[in-house]
Each structure stands twice: as structure tokens, then as C-alpha cells.
Amino acid sequence: MTKSILITGCSTGIGYYCAKALHDGGFRVVASVRNPQHLARFEALGIPCIILDLADDASIKQGFDEAVALCDGKLDALFNNGAYGQPGAVEDLPTDVLRAQFETNLFGWHTLTCLAVAHMRAHGGDSRIIQNSSVLGLVALPYRGAYNASKFALEGLTDTLRMELSGSNVQISLIEPGPIASEFRRNARVAFEQHIEIANSAHKTEYEAQLTRLNAQSAPQKFTLGPEAVYDKLLHALTAKRAKPRYYVTFPTYLMGYLKRLLSSAWLDKVLLKNR
């Protein structure tokens, strides 16, 4: 039977590519966007698309109900993807700006995930939830505190949910990309300039260098891959008999994941030896 999936954050980049690729591969895809101006491109592709604003609980609930209706009452999978990055030093982050980062990157995902889990439990069948995290959910970088915090929280919440769903019909996975070609840098620049007081900051020099990098659209980061690299992991998480808990994408994520496991093992060995 054809599997149905709701994907958030489909306006550009990873969400758009994965929605189209899954549709072409025979999945019953419902895409979601925040901006109504982006609906038309999906109509041309024959992919149902709904409005779903992850910073608005009412929009999330209405969008979820619409997605279920478009799938004839049964949704098999959810790919939480819609997010943005808010640059800025922690000391320069207004609390409201940090709160807004969490509304879109974590709280909205939580609301949607809980709706999906309840629906999937009630309808049975092989169900999947995939969270698109980040290498910055594994390691922290300066001037990325808001995004780091949202992804670290997502990692912990998802790992806990996976344990709590053990034995149920719902499998949950994390995809952890590093640099992927998308509109992420452009959107981060907009958020940076809109919410951070650059001129009077102690970090002004570094901010100016960051803006130069963010404006260098023709010079992608080293190790950048296309969105198809994320799609490959998503497809496995959706179709494998037993989905992996985590999927690394790009060299930096594999490296940081390995170092994190290595350091954790070394710390554990030290504790065990101390308490022998």
C-alpha cells in the first residue's frame, strides 16, 4: 500500500527536494509551507500542499487535520523539517528572540509530533516520525547559541520519546545534517540583521565577518552536500524494517558524532575505573 507522509518546511531546500522526490517515488505526500505564496509551485507538481505555521498552535492543529483528510484519514509518517537559525552571541540574544527560536524549532515540532503519535497509535500500522536535527544538535559553536539550544533540546526530547515509544507501532529517528545547500544561510542573515544589535555589540568585529560569510552565496561551506544526501537517509528511515535512531549526513557530522561517542566512552571508562 502507498504510504502517506506530511513534511513541514517545504518552501525550499531539504523540504522541497524531499517532498518532490518522495512524490516521484510513489509516496502520498502532503507538503506544508508557512507562506501562502509558495503553494503554487506544489500545485504544478501535483503535490497537495497546506499552510502550517510552526509558531502557531492553531495553525499546526488545523494543518494536521487537513493533512490527515488529504490522506483519507490515515497518516503513516511525519518528517519534521521546518526550522530556521538565529545567529548572535548569547549575551546579545533578547529573550523574546530566543523564545521565538524555540517556538518554531522545538515547541511547534512537539505539538505536531504529539498529534501524530496519538493518530498513529489509534490507527495502527507501521508508522514513522523523522526529526531533521543538525550537527549543531551534537556540538556547540559560538554565535549559534539559539539554534544550538533548540537542536540540543530536540535531540534530548526525541531520544526520550523513542524510549517511551518502544514496543509501539511508531518508530522515531533523528537525521543530523551538516552543511547542506539550501536557503538556510540567507534566512539566517535576515534573522541576524533583524534581531541582533550589531553596531553596539562587544562582538561587532566578528559579526561583520559573519555577515560577509553569510552574504557569500557563491561560496558554499566546505563539505557542503545537496539535499539529496538528506533524502537518502530519510528514505531509509521510512522504508527500513528497523529504522536507525540516528542518521549522520556530511563529513562534519560523522566526525563530530564519532568524537562525541569517543569522548563519552573515555569519560565512562574513567568513571568506572575510579569506582572499581
Give me the active site residues, please: 147
Reported residue count of the chain is 276
Contact 5, 76 (CB under 8 A): yes
Instruction: Tell me the Ramachandran region of residue 26: left when phi exceeds 0, alpha when psi lies from -120 to 50, beta otherwise.
Output: left
Which sign, positive or negative, has the C-alpha torsion 101, 53, 40, 224? positive
**Nearest of 59, 78, 16 to residue 41 by alpha carbon:** 16
Q: For residue 34, which phi and psi values (nearest 5 degrees)?
A: -90, -35
Closest CA to 21 of 218, 226, 246: 226
Q: How far apart are CA 107 and CA 126, in angstroms?
A: 25
